[in-house]
Amino acid sequence: MIISVVNYKRIRYMYQVEKKGKKAIARELCIFKNTVKKYCEGSHVPWDRKKYKRDASVMTEEVIDFIKGCL
């Protein structure tokens, strides 16, 4: 789950300053506890997303011919 920067800051503040537990933060913000855990530890940040690369092998000649036939 990707969260907003505002929620990220709230999670970090609640965890570090208010000393709330991860389950309590998840309950209060209606976010999954695994997501809260990931952002509490600071190992992930919402503005640093993983780049995904799609495999082009799906578009074979047969698929292209089928699409052209449908059009």
- DSSP-derived letter for residue 46 is T
The vertex-41 CA angle with 40 and 44, nearest 5°, equals 90
Mark out the alpha helices in 1-71 (DSSP H runs): 5-16, 22-29, 33-40, 61-70
Model confidence at 1: pLDDT above 90: no
Tokens of 68: 């052209």
pLDDT, position 38: 85
pLDDT higher at 4 or 50: 4
Domain ranges of the chain: 1-45
